[in-house]
Amino acid sequence: MKKQKTLYAITAEDVVNVSNQNSIFFTEKNLSFIGDKIGDYFGDKWQDAIEYALNELNKNKQSI
């Protein structure tokens, strides 16, 4: 298994899509700030997301 494989990433396009959906507009100069704030929001929550995914995997294995 490749341990360095990226499983999830947020792109500038993702930010643009959410921006358009919510009518909150920004410029390219704001991307660094937005990226920092996304990181602040996630904090250690990424561990919760991984745990959730693993628990869902176990649930699905049991129902098969």
Look at residue 36 and tell me if it is in a domain: yes
24: its two tokens: 């909150």
Evaluate if pTM is beyond 0.75.
Answer: no
- pLDDT the model gives residue 32: 94
Total structural domains within the chain: 1
C-alpha–C-alpha distance, residues 32 and 38, integer Å: 10
9: its two tokens: 């990433």
Look at residue 2 and tell me if it is in a domain: no
C-alpha distances (whole Å) from 56 to each of 25, 53, 59, 64 are 35, 5, 5, 13
44: its two tokens: 């250690």
Look at residue 50 and tell me if it is in a domain: yes
Task: Please tell me what DSSP assigns to residue 23.
Answer: T
pLDDT digits (tens, 9 = 90+) for 45-56: 888 888 889 999
pLDDT digits (tens, 9 = 90+) for 13-47: 999 999 999 999 999 999 999 999 988 888 778 88
Which range marks the domain in which residue 26 is found?
Answer: 12-62
